[in-house]
Amino acid sequence: MNSPDGPAGKNDRDTDVAVEDGVARTNRPVSSAVADPGAATHRHEPHEPERAHLPEKLYEKRQAVHNKRIDGPFRRFKWAMMIVTLAIYYVTPWIRWDRGPYAPDQAVLVDLANRRFYMFGIEIWPHEFYFVAGLLIMAGIGLFLVTSAVGRAWCGYACPQTVWTDLFQHVDRFVDGDRNARMRLDAAPWTWGKVLRRAFKWTIYAVIGFATGGAWILYFADAPTLFRDFFAGDAAPVAYITVAVLTLTTVVLGGFMREQVCIYMCPWPRIQSAMLDEKSLIVTYKDWRGEPRGSVKKARKHPGEFGDCIDCNLCVAVCPTGIDIREGPQIGCITCALCIDACDRVMAEVGRPRGLIDYATLEDCEREARGETPRSPWRTLLRPRTIAYSLIWGSIGLALLFALGVRSHTGLTVSPDRNPPFMLMSDGSIRNSFTLKLRNMESRPRDMAIALEGLPGGVMWSDTIGRDDAAPAQVMTVPADQTRTMRAYVMAPAGTGERDFAFRITSQDEQRETDSVETRFSAPEAGQPRDSQ
């Protein structure tokens, strides 16, 4: 039966398992199991020889995970998280935020064309990208914090891949029925009924994928307008391409690849193993309590010989990544705790204490195994490591808030023209030209005064202010929410030498925000004839 060569034998065996026992394993074939905890359990073979652990082929075909429906506190929490995260995702682009007549009124908007990022009361310009970088660092450290405290809980509840996979699994359940029905249908030959069913299911996949991609683009333009334009066929081609790509990737990643993404594509499981320690809360199977496994019947026959695990395999059946938590902590576990829900039910049914599979720290597991009372899992939340992460996280947050509070909405950049560096005028005075960029980060037009500092006798004019109006300071209107580029001509009297001076910009409103930029006035070198250039 367990012939190592020839796919035929293997497939036969899998089909046997699927049909007879109603349970199939993803990573390694299991020879016996039942899904129903009440039913009698039986084992065909005690233990496979060591060699069986070697892969039979170098590349193994993915085996579908048909996880069973389960209810329990963690499942309900997962539902709540799914509703909350999806609601945030779909509702956010529709929230309006009044920013006055010159700025978009969408609360969260990534305005790529104008290079602005709006988030409620905050508006980020390209030169302030450090805010976004800071948020990303906070997200990273937040992930460290969550992982060191409660393991891969982000993966289990909030990760988009998890949320959408969960959604697609519910679709499977809705269309094809629960685990056993789905496995039967999978193994069944292709009949018209199956084709129709699959077509129906994949249509729902596509609708979900489309809704996912469709919502994504709403973050990049005015949502109601884009929504209308999109269905009227008037939206930009990039919108359609984005939606098409995201629809496809959502269906492929969430509908078909599912746990493969979590196990093989996602880098986080590799990192998390470095983040976890014996004090982190993870989903663990308490083997000292469960082993050796034996059915209720066997345990009744030989009291004292078997552990609490009745080997019903329900924990495996409900697992969205199709792993067996009883093999110990492993890369495929996303810490969703559905197996806890499952096993707690079983334990309740057979009248044993709950928590054979539970959120626990490895340290506490050892204590418990030694017979000591475990400490409250909450203790794990407060320990040097989590506190350190929280402190780093919080201080970055405070620093960002501070920077946000003190940032100026006025800015100036100066670049001197270097070709030619200076210009001799007919009356002997010396002219330099500069390109100035005046930034007005407020959503109203503002007047800005630009003044020369440290250039005695210097006057300036610009491409819009004529030379006749040359003066040591000029006032320019900068349109709302824009950077105005101007060419400034600065002229100093004959005999002025090379020297440093500054442009100072001051907003002509009650804020009187100011910014100043040091630059250099170029002039003929002393001793050089005044007219040679």
Residues that bind another protein (CB under 8 A): 4-5, 51, 54-59, 417, 419-420, 423-428, 431, 433, 463-464, 466, 489, 494, 529-533
Shortest Cβ 382–another protein spacing (Å): 49
Show the DSSP H helices in 371-505 as ranges. Answer: 384-406
Q: How far apart are CA 17 and CA 44, in angstroms?
A: 11
Task: Give 38 or 445: the residue with its C-beta nearer to ligand SF4.
Answer: 38
For position 82 contacting ligand SF4 by CB under 6 A, the verdict is no
Task: Give 67 or 433: the residue with its C-beta nearer to another protein.
Answer: 433
Q: Does the bond joining 320 to the residue before it have cis omega, within 30 degrees of 0? A: no
Structure tokens of 295? 């059915």
Output the DSSP codes for 278-327. Answer: TTS-EEEE-HHHHPSP--HHHHHHSTTSS-S-----HHHHH-TT---GGG
Q: Of 336, 400, 460, 476, which one interacts with ligand SF4 (CB under 6 A)?
A: 336
What 8-state DSSP symbol labels residue 501? E
Shortest Cβ 489–another protein spacing (Å): 5
Is there a contact between 355 and 344 (Cβ–Cβ < 8 Å)? Answer: yes
User: Quick one: what does residue 319 bind among another protein, ligand SF4, none, with the CB cut-off 5 to 8 Å set by partner type?
Assistant: ligand SF4
CA 441 remoteness from chain centre: 29
Q: Is 195 helix (H, G, I), strand (E, B) or coil?
A: helix
Q: How far apart are CA 515 and CA 472, in angstroms?
A: 17
Shortest Cβ 467–another protein spacing (Å): 8
Q: How far apart are CA 225 and CA 105, in angstroms?
A: 12
Q: Of 334, 452, 460, 488, which one interacts with ligand SF4 (CB under 6 A)?
A: 334
For position 163 contacting ligand SF4 by CB under 6 A, the verdict is no
Amino acid 322 reads G
Task: Give 4 or 73: the residue with its C-beta nearer to another protein.
Answer: 4
For position 430 contacting ligand SF4 by CB under 6 A, the verdict is no
User: Quick one: what does residue 428 bind among another protein, ligand SF4, none, with the CB cut-off 5 to 8 Å set by partner type?
Assistant: another protein
User: Quick one: what does residue 531 bind among ligand SF4, another protein, none, with the CB cut-off 5 to 8 Å set by partner type?
Assistant: another protein
Other beta carbons less than 10 A from residue 476's beta carbon: 20
Q: Of 243, 246, 339, 438, which one interacts with ligand SF4 (CB under 6 A)?
A: 339
Q: How far apart are CA 441 and CA 123, in angstroms?
A: 8
Task: Give 265 or 403: the residue with its C-beta nearer to another protein.
Answer: 265
Q: Does the bond joining 49 to the residue before it have cis omega, within 30 degrees of 0? A: no
User: Quick one: what does residue 114 bind among another protein, ligand SF4, none, with the CB cut-off 5 to 8 Å set by partner type?
Assistant: none
Task: Give 525 or 531: the residue with its C-beta nearer to another protein.
Answer: 531
In 3D space, the residue among 165, 135, 155, 145 whose CA is nearest the CA of residue 266 turns out to be 155
Task: Give 320 or 524: the residue with its C-beta nearer to another protein.
Answer: 524
Shortest Cβ 448–ligand SF4 spacing (Å): 58
For position 150 contacting ligand SF4 by CB under 6 A, the verdict is no
Shortest Cβ 183–ligand SF4 spacing (Å): 18
Shortest Cβ 337–ligand SF4 spacing (Å): 5
Q: Cα–Cα–Cα angle for 6, 8, 14, nearest 5°?
A: 115
The mark string for 293-332 relative to ligand SF4 (x by CB under 6 A, - otherwise) is ----------------xxxxxxx--xxxx-x-xx------
Per the DSSP assignment, residues forming a β-bridge with 122 are 119
Q: Of 107, 124, 239, 342, which one interacts with ligand SF4 (CB under 6 A)?
A: 342
Q: How far apart are CA 265 and CA 261, in angstroms?
A: 5
| Footprint (CB under 6 A) of ligand SF4, residues 445-464 | none
The mark string for 399-418 relative to ligand SF4 (x by CB under 6 A, - otherwise) is --------------------
| Footprint (CB under 6 A) of ligand SF4, residues 206-265 | none
For position 365 contacting ligand SF4 by CB under 6 A, the verdict is no
Task: Give 338 or 505: the residue with its C-beta nearer to ligand SF4.
Answer: 338
User: Quick one: what does residue 334 bind among ligand SF4, another protein, none, with the CB cut-off 5 to 8 Å set by partner type?
Assistant: ligand SF4
Q: Which residues contact 357 (CB under 8 A, 6 or more apart)?
A: 283, 284, 285, 286, 315, 325, 326, 339, 340, 342, 343, 344
| Footprint (CB under 6 A) of ligand SF4, residues 275-294 | 283, 290
Task: Give 6 or 73: the residue with its C-beta nearer to another protein.
Answer: 6
Per the DSSP assignment, residues forming a β-bridge with 474 are 450
Shortest Cβ 70–another protein spacing (Å): 37
Shortest Cβ 336–ligand SF4 spacing (Å): 4
Structure tokens of 34? 């039942």
CA 476 remoteness from chain centre: 43
Is there a contact between 510 and 502 (Cβ–Cβ < 8 Å)? Answer: no
Shortest Cβ 265–ligand SF4 spacing (Å): 16
Shortest Cβ 224–ligand SF4 spacing (Å): 40
Q: Which residues contact 518 (CB under 8 A, 6 or more apart)?
A: 500, 501, 502
Q: How far apart are CA 320 and CA 492, in angstroms?
A: 76
User: Quick one: what does residue 356 bind among ligand SF4, another protein, none, with the CB cut-off 5 to 8 Å set by partner type?
Assistant: ligand SF4
Other beta carbons less than 10 A from residue 435's beta carbon: 13
Q: How far apart are CA 138 and CA 159, in angstroms?
A: 16
Interacting residue ranges for ligand SF4, rule: CB under 6 A: 283, 290, 309-315, 318-321, 323, 325-326, 333-339, 342-343, 346, 356-357
